[in-house]
Amino acid sequence: MKDLLKKYFGFDDFRPMQKEIIDEVIKKKDVLVLMPTGGGKSLCYQLPALKMEGLTLVVSPLIALMKDQVDSLKANGIGAEFINSSLRFEEIKQIEQAVFRGEVKILFVAPERLSSSYFFDWLKRLEVCLIAIDEAHCISEWGHDFRPHYRSLKIFKQEFARVPLIALTATATYEVREDIKKQLGLKEPKVFISSFNRENLKLSIFPKRRAFDKLVGLIEKHKDESVIVYCFSRRETEEIAESLKLAGFSAMAYHAGLEREVRQEVQENFIRDKTKIIVATIAFGMGIDKPDVRLVVHYSFPKTLESYYQEIGRAGRDGMESEGVLFYSYGDVRKHEFFLEQIEDEKQRQIAREKLNQVIDYCESADCRKKYLLDYFSEELKKDCKSCDICLSDQEVFDATIITQKILSAILKTGSVFGKSHVIQVLRGSRRRQVKDNGHDKLSVFGIVKDYSKDEVDHFVRALIGAGLIKKEEGKFPILKVTSKGITFLKNKGKIELTKPADDLEREGIIKSDKIEYDENLFERLKAIRSIIAKENDVPNFVIFGDVSLREMAYFLPVDKESFSKISGVGEAKLKTYAPRFLAVIQAYVKKFKLKPKPINKQLRSANRPSSTRRIHSPLARYQVTKKMIEQKKALTEIAKVQDFRLTTILRHIQKLKDAGQNLNLDYLKKDLNNFSKIETAFQKCGKARLKPVFEELDEKISYDEIKIARVLVD
């Protein structure tokens, strides 16, 4: 199988789970595969198709994607065709004859095609060795993209009982997985669930303020790269696209209201890099397999976490670092709720409401974005992802005891029957009618946090929900309640520390940080020859070679066919067809600039894969400043002053440096603490997790600041 992998696809090794899945398919067993977008699902049926005798049938709802898939397979020397409504009768007949002659190994069809008795009778005359159901979640009413035509697919197990069936999807909760198995009639299928963690994808959520300015800033950072912007309505897509064009960007709108020919043109221009930015409703993307999209922006937040995950999954399918950014506002919540009320079926309306509330909870969570997402898909992320705005923000920790008491008191004094927005209005002294009508402007908590902005109070409420002091009851109008833990906190006059909200403009700063130091000038020349060859063959650029392959060429500088064949993505067909022209460019460049090719091996390739995304003004750089000043034995107050940080932030730097295994000599700092030995003894007795027990153990005579300093110095 590895020989076939290299021969046809140009890869040396399988991705996680691919080999195990393929082994089951070869044994003619039914399989259900859950693998994130870009994880390599297609190979799980394409490679067995080459090994098994007969035809592999692939059912896919993505008519627009079929041509690209077939073009890619043909470029790799594999016989593939598609049959769908875009073809003329004569073209379909020619393909049917080619299938009978054994010239086609993989045939793509839309599910609607199977409702034709003629087509199904024709299919039964063939030697079908494997059936693949792509986007299998479409068969489930619990899925986010239910397609009625998928319900007819259960006929496969009745008519092709001995043919193995592989069902594939990128997003499926437990209920959807069980429904897929039931609806397709899979026989004791082995279920493979790949990790949903896309390490190359950086996730951020920003308040929807000055959203267009932020959008322009994000696109500027991804200049000349492919970008998708998702909007709520058709009108909004056209307005944003027009505004981006006026700002000098290559942008086009895409939505279901456009003529079919226009939609096809927009899609083709994007796939072939003639248009860099698509501003679209969710009608766009299901038929897109463009591997080099670098930024996906949700200008309005989506209605389900499944669709959100699928849409952000359209960024970075080639494994290179990419971004997913979501703008969140309560105004958009109301838009979704309006359409929810139009759903007549009560069960479907309730399902839709639950899914919308899950998206809102995700947006309002103060925890790691990827932890939340993976938990939704029943996967545990044991440590912070280090690739979302929460994990990457260098937020300060402060004593939030007083603001917490005020928030909890406001919830209780307003009767525990109001949502977050109303509670914040009361706390900030709003004169809105609802506040006055309820007499809440007469409460002692009215206006007691005027020194905080609405967004800051919102951040604290979300943090207290995460800390378990507040709970949000779901429903049409979610309300806040103080938990038993919160009541105990108030009664016992507890203490709590929270992070300060980071400035979202500061959090926006993200730079690309590829470790692979490829020659950018050569990379651009290779892109140019790729575009010429793609145009000659009437296929998208990535069908010839993806950016990953070009970057390896621009790094390793292969100058002969043997070394070129070792580049990722170079199989036998592409080596024969395309290598001469790419080698000519590389050879001329190497000769002109007197460069020396690098030996290609797996270890080097692995070491030079792109790293995860990080922020501008990276915390890593700040930690290095802190480390250097510790080596110079500077006082903590001086380290904080030089970097314009508070002491608590510097203490966090030290802790993170220690956690990363950095060898820090902190003995000089211990000497400056008169009570260090006493505090150390208290930590040994009470543990380091919470400061309050230590404070009490020391008879409340040593300050919290001194205890905090000692905590990071304790070995």
How far is 31 from 48, CA to CA, in rounded Å?
13
Query: CA nearest 639: which of 666, 662, 660?
Result: 666
Higher-confidence residue of 600 and 100: namely 100
Do 298 and 231 reside in the same domain of the chain? yes
In the prediction, which pLDDT does 484 show? 93
Task: State the pLDDT at residue 474.
Answer: 66
Higher pLDDT, 158 or 37: 158
Q: Is residue 331 part of a domain?
A: yes
Could you tell me if 528 and 562 lie in one domain? yes
pLDDT band for position 590 (cuts 50, 70, 90): very high
Question: For 664-684, what is each residue's pLDDT tens digit?
Answer: 888 888 887 888 888 888 888
Which residues neighbour 549 within 8 Å (Cβ) at sequence distance 6 or greater?
10, 567, 568, 569, 570
User: CATH code at 480?
Assistant: 1.10.10.10
382 and 294 co-located in one domain: yes
- For residue 102, give Cα distances in angstroms to 7, 55, 331: 20, 8, 57
281-300 average pLDDT score: 80
Residue 555 covered by a domain: yes
In a domain, 350, yes or no: yes
Other residues' Cβ atoms within 10 Å of the Cβ of residue 216 = 16
Q: Measuring CA to CA, how many Å separate 151 from each of 119, 122, 146, 179, 676? A: 17, 21, 9, 11, 69
Q: What is the pLDDT of residue 145?
A: 66
DSSP string covering 609-643: SPPPPEESS-HHHHHHHHHHHHHTT--HHHHHHHH
- Asked if 21 and 81 sit in the same domain, the reply is yes
pLDDT of 115: 79
pLDDT interval class at 612 (50, 70, 90): very low
Q: What is the pLDDT of residue 609?
A: 44
CA distances from 83 to 62, 64, 90, 351 (A): 12, 12, 11, 35
Confidence bin at 509 (pLDDT 50/70/90): very low
Q: What are the residues whose beta carbons fall under 8 Å from the beta carbon of 585, sequence distance 6 or more?
A: 522, 525, 526, 529
Residue 167 CA to residue 116 CA, distance in Å, equals: 22
Q: Which of 7-21, 277-291, 484-498, 503-517 has the lowest mean pLDDT?
A: 503-517
Q: Residues 6 or more apart from 542 whose CB is under 8 A from it?
A: 290, 291, 292, 318
What DSSP letter does each residue of 101-146 carry, written as one string? TT--SEEEE-GGGGG-HHHHHHHHTS-EEEEEESSGGGG-TTSTT-
- pLDDT averaged over every residue in the chain: 84
pLDDT at 603: 47
Which distant-in-sequence residues (6+ apart) come within 8 Å of 571 by Cβ? 6, 7, 8, 9, 10, 76, 77
Looking at the domain assignment, is residue 702 inside a domain? Answer: yes
592 and 453 in a common domain: no
pLDDT band per the 50, 70, 90 thresholds, residue 284:
low
pLDDT in tens, 388-447: 988 887 666 788 899 999 999 999 999 999 988 899 999 999 888 889 999 999 999 999
Please tell me the distance from the alpha carbon of residue 706 to that of residue 418, in angstroms, as a whole number. 40
Q: Which residue has the tokens 């020194």?
A: 451
Q: Please tell me the least confidently modeled range out of 65-69, 139-143, 458-462, 515-519.
A: 515-519
Q: In the prediction, which pLDDT does 620 show?
A: 47
**Residue 627 lies in domain:** 615-713
State the total domains in the chain: 5
Q: Is residue 501 included in any domain, yes or no?
A: no
Q: In a 3-state reduction of DSSP, which class is residue 300?
A: coil
Predicted pLDDT of residue 577? 94
Domain presence at residue 648: yes
Q: What is the pLDDT averaged over residues 82-88?
A: 89
Q: Are 285 and 314 in contact (CB under 8 A)?
A: yes
Q: Which two structure tokens, joined as six digits, stand for 101? A: 């002659």
Confidence at residue 659, expressed as pLDDT on a 0 to 100 scale: 61
Enumerate residues 6+ apart whose C-beta is below 8 A from 63.
Answer: 84, 85, 86, 110, 287
pLDDT average, residue stretch 114-130: 89
The residue written with tokens 């990419």 in the block is 322
Q: Are 564 and 583 in contact (CB under 8 A)?
A: yes
Q: In this structure, are 215 and 302 located in the same domain?
A: yes
Q: Does 131 share its domain with 266?
A: no
Give the tens place of pLDDT for each residue, 184-243: 999 999 999 888 888 889 999 988 877 887 898 899 888 889 999 999 888 899 989 988
Q: Is 399 domain-assigned?
A: no
Q: What is the mean pLDDT of residues 480-485?
A: 93
Boundary (domain end) residue, out of 584, 607, 630? 607
Hey, what amino acid is at 254?
A: Y
Question: What tokens appear for 326 in the block?
Answer: 């979501």
Instruction: Decide if 504 is inside a domain.
Output: no
pLDDT band at 616 (very low <50, low <70, confident <90, very high): very low
| Residues 7 and 149 reside in one and the same domain | yes
Provide the pLDDT confidence category of residue 707 given band limits of 50, 70 and 90: confident
Contact (Cβ atoms closer than 8 angstroms) between residue 34 and residue 193? yes
Q: What is the CATH number of the domain that holds 268?
A: 3.40.50.300
Task: Reply yes or no on whether the pLDDT at 614 is more than 50.
Answer: no
- The CATH number of whichever domain residue 595 belongs to comes to 1.10.150.80
The answer to whether 294 and 323 are in contact (CB under 8 A) is yes
- Per-position b or e across 238-269, b if 16+ CB within 10 A of its CB: bebbeebeeeebebbbbbeebeeeebebbbee
User: DSSP state, 154?
Assistant: G
Q: Are residues 150 and 20 in the same domain?
A: yes
Reply yes or no on whether the pLDDT at 605 is more than 70: no
Q: Among 193, 215, 242, where does a domain finish? A: 193
The pLDDT of residue 318 is 86
Whether 62 and 206 map to the same domain: the answer is no
114 and 165 together in one domain: yes
Residue 596: alpha-carbon gap to chain centroid: 38
Confirm if 296 and 325 have CB atoms less than 8 A apart: yes
Residue 263 and residue 189 share a domain: no
Q: Cα–Cα distance between 446 and 235 in angstroms, integer?
A: 40
Domain boundary among 607, 624, 645: 607
- pLDDT at site 164: 95
Q: In what order do the strands lie in the sheet with 31-34?
A: 80-83, 106-109, 55-59, 128-133, 165-169, 31-34, 190-193
